[in-house]
Structure 1
Amino acid sequence: MVSRLASRHFSRTAVASSDVRPTSLDVFTEEEQMLRESVRRFAEDVVAPKVREMDENEMMDPEIIKALFEQGLMGIETSADHGGSESSFTSAIIVIEELARVDPSVSVMCDVHNTLVNTVIRTHGTQEQKDKWLPLLAQTTLGSFCLSEPASGSDAFALQTRAKKDGDHWILNGTKMWITNSYEADIFLIFANVDPSKGYKGITCFLATKDMGIKIAKKEQKLGIRASSTCSLAFDDLRIPAENIIGGEGKGYKIAIEILNEGRIGIAAQMLGLAQGAFDKAVPYTFQRSQFGKPVGTFQGLAFQQAQAAVELEAARLLTYNAARRKEEGRDFVREAAIAKYAASQVAQRVSGAAIEWTGGIGFTRETGIEKYWRDSKIGAIYEGTSNIQLQTIAKFIQKQYS
């Protein structure tokens, strides 16, 4: 296992040399490459042996969560003063990608915790909130981002969860569903409307802890990313201190829009890593299995399919890192994030599906784990904005440019 000190050294050094930028999107700084290699070893040595068991049991191993914290991978962009690795957004994308090569379930847990929960508090929290919550999130405590509801999916702001002021507290009532990390998390960012007459301008972000009375109403049984918990939550007169409002009353819609755009780059990285993992597992087998006197991978029909997959992987990689670099440098990235997320999710489905076919019957079994990549890939077209939502976003930019 890579030591926590080594992992953190890589990421902190990356910040120190952040003024030295790669000249192309597929070239990384020495520190970024060291981080990639350390996370790859961690994923292969620590996560890989438990992937099938976690998938079969539909449960994240607590030791994996603990190990992620010990490696400094749960506070990637959090400052050193708050116990984090004080690294860059691109470093977070590297971590998400490398974890997804081995297990997309572990990857999305890390992704949501870092790019959604930590970022909201780091960006919109008061100094007191940062001092109180960021060290916990960086070192010991898993976070969950609670936006979606039964009647609020793509229309993310049709929220029915309500919050009413009661002295120095707010009382929340409502339900959430499709909430990632919610089974294991102890810190929750909950979006509720404090004034429905104002529409989406009444939406406010609250920070709550599980011991305040958050109820896990249902743990979903899913096609893929089974080890990643996805639950429905119930809030029955949930009392939250007024000091736990993040960003101010009525600012939740702005926070959610900003963070979902950023989160799409994380999902693009997850889908990219997933596709690469399927490719890496399947292709060697095609050169080990022979038919008609030669490896099946040398037959032109299969060789061309693998070449096509390699092209699509490279395109998804460049799109994902282009969006990440733009975000990191403070440039507009909404269009690029939508393109990357859409493209990577499509590539993930195609490559993981092809990987099963390349390996034939053995790829169809659960023994090799290749079929798991295909099951896991389907969610990429759904969460953090469906594929149609991404196309809608891209279309709006086209219309603005040409109409």
Structure 2
Amino acid sequence: MPDRAPQPVDRQLPTDEARDLISLVRDIAQREIAPKAAEEEDAGRFPREVFALLSESGLLGLPYDSEYGGGDQPYEVYLQVLEELAAARLTVGLGVSVHTLASYALAAYGTKEQQVEHLPAMLGGGLLGAYCLSEPSSGSDAASLRTKAVRDGDDWVITGTKAWITHGGIADYYTVMARTGEEGPRGITAFLVPGDAEGLSAAAPEKKMGMKGSPTAQVHFDGVRVSDDRRLGEEGQGFAIALSALDSGRLGIAACAIGVAQAALDEAVAYAAGRKQFGRPISDFQGLRFMLADMATQIEAGRALYLSAARLRDAGRPFAKQAAMAKLHCTDTAMKVTTDAVQILGGYGYTADFPAERYMREAKVLQIVEGTNQIQRMVIARHLAGPEGR
């Protein structure tokens, strides 16, 4: 059955402009995204036309400077947009988050000339980005990456393979971390690589348990040549750029997780109100009511946590610990809430006739991407107790 239109969340937004923005996003979600989500996910179809619409509507560059086509929106607002999109379809919400992540290195570390040349097309010109850090042999241990960039005159020649790349094979540009020097984090540099560069190719998309409409693929760099003016930041600064980007990206994942959890709760509440057993709606039974109450409480707590971290970021204060906490809590919440939603729907929850099973399958990946939740615990502990001994 088609997905239920996302139910309005009572949001505390800082400006009238932000309220209008959320209204626009909800309208797009209800008209263009939710009605097709189940069918297109089942078919494994990526909704490129939706991303074109989001770009035309100014929704692909919300947290960036309007001078370059961005929306000048604080993260507090941008993340709530992501939540609305993810509630309608995670492929879209997560795709916008990844695109924002792929644009970060240029927006935060690029030169003025680089920003003027590339950012307008990236933020509002219909382009779609991808972020290339992970490799087949370096996931959580990202600093051990092996993809190399070798200087050749005024160019760099990039050789290697990146793995688990969202939008791999369909992106218009890739933000790529490659080794240009010594082993370890200090030998890594960031590059902006066009999607049609000679020598760049993608493997067949991975066959996944969820997020089937979002292509995830290995990306191969076979002597890909880029000019030095596509190097982002200083040589050896790439890993610091990557970590800085991930702090913000984790907030995007947290918001998407709450969107999925909210959609699952809405489905469970509607089903429980309409399903009758023993002569009354199952929502009348205390055991089930307590499940719904716990689900709603964890969602509200997660939303408050990611918004609190966003406000720190907007104020220019450190937020890495809070971003890790938000990613950890919100994605664990999404996994628990979606599993409980399937339980509430009973046998129907286990069928593809209802979206609850898809929400559960999709929620799982959010505990893995952009730093597993085990890594988030390490990050949080490091802030509390200092670096681990060896």
8 Å contact from structure 1 (residues 189, 206) kept in 2: yes
Structure-2 separation of matches of 1:384 and 1:166 = 32
Q: Give the distance between the partners of 1:337 and 1:212, measured in 2 at CA.
A: 34
SS in 1 for 2:143: coil
Match of 1:15 in 2: none
Give the one of 164, 175, 184 matched to 2:150.
Answer: 164
1:28 alignment partner, one of 7, 10, 13: 13
5 Å matches for 1:58-69?
58-69=44-55
Q: CA–CA distance in 2 between the matches of 1:50 and 1:121?
A: 33
The aligned amino acid for 2:18 is E
Paired letter, 1:35: L
Matching of residue 379 in structure 1 with residue 345 in structure 2? no
Q: Secondary structure at the match of 1:52?
A: helix
Q: Is the Cα contact below 8 Å between 2:169 and 2:203 reproduced in 1?
A: no
Write the distance in 1 (CA, Å) between the matches of 2:12 and 2:195.
42
User: Alpha-carbon deviation of 1:33?
Assistant: 2.9
Which residue matches 1:103?
Answer: 89
Look up the equivalent residue of 2:355 and give its one-letter code: G
Q: Does 1:297 align with 2:283?
A: yes
Name the aligned partner's letter for residue 399 of structure 1.
A
Tell me the equivalent position of 1:9: none
SS at match of 1:157: helix
> Which 10-residue stretch deviates more, 119-128 or 33-42?
33-42
Residues 163 and 219 of structure 2 are in contact (CA less than 8 Å); yes or no, is this contact kept in structure 1? yes
2:174 pairs with 1:203 = no
Residue 266 of structure 1 pairs with residue 252 of structure 2: yes
Q: Indicate yes or no: 2:161 matched with 1:175.
A: yes
* Alignment CA distance shift 1:275-1:220 (3 Å): same
* Match in the other structure for 1:288: 274
Q: 168-177 vs 65-74, which deviates more?
A: 65-74
State the identity as a percent. 38
How much has 1:358 moved relative to structure 2? 0.9
- Within 5 Å, give how 1:220-259 maps onto structure 2: 220-259=206-245
Which amino acid is the alignment partner of residue 332 of structure 1? Answer: P
- 2:118 aligned residue (133, 150, 155): 133
2:43 corresponds in structure 1 to: 57
Unaligned runs of 5+ in 2: 1-9
Cα RMSD (Å) of the superposition?
A: 1.7
Moved more, 29-38 or 355-364: 29-38
Alignment partners' CA distance in 1, 2:107 and 2:380: 28
Name 1:93's counterpart in structure 2.
79
Q: Distance in 1 between matches of 2:369 and 2:18?
A: 27
| Preserved contact between residue 363 and residue 371 of structure 1 (Cα < 8 Å) | yes
For 1:83 and 1:347, the matched residues in 2 are separated by 34
| Residue 128 (structure 2) pairs with residue 142 (structure 1) | yes
Look up the match of 1:186: 172
Give the structure-2-normalised TM-score: 0.93
Amino acid at match of 2:337: V
Answer yes or no: is the 8 Å Cα contact 1:190–1:205 preserved in 2.
Answer: yes
1:304-319 aligned at under 5 Å gives the runs 304-319=290-305
Contact 1:218 1:233 in 2 (8 A): no
2:6 corresponds to which residue? none
Residues 261 and 80 (structure 1 numbering): CA distance in 2 closer, same or farther, change over 3 Å? closer
Map of 1:122 onto structure 2: 107
Flag the 1:53–1:183 CA change in 2: closer, same or farther, 3 A: farther
Structure 1 residues 189 and 271: CA distance shift in structure 2, 3 A:
same
Work out whether residues 106 and 227 of structure 1, in 8 Å CA contact, stay in contact via their aligned partners in 2: no
Q: Which amino acid aligns with 1:53?
A: E
Q: Deviations over 1:190-236 (max 9, x none)?
A: 110111x3532110001111221210123111111111111101111
Paired AA for residue 123 in structure 1: A
One-letter amino acid of the structure 2 residue matched with residue 310 of structure 1: A
Aligned length: 376
AA aligned opposite 2:13: F
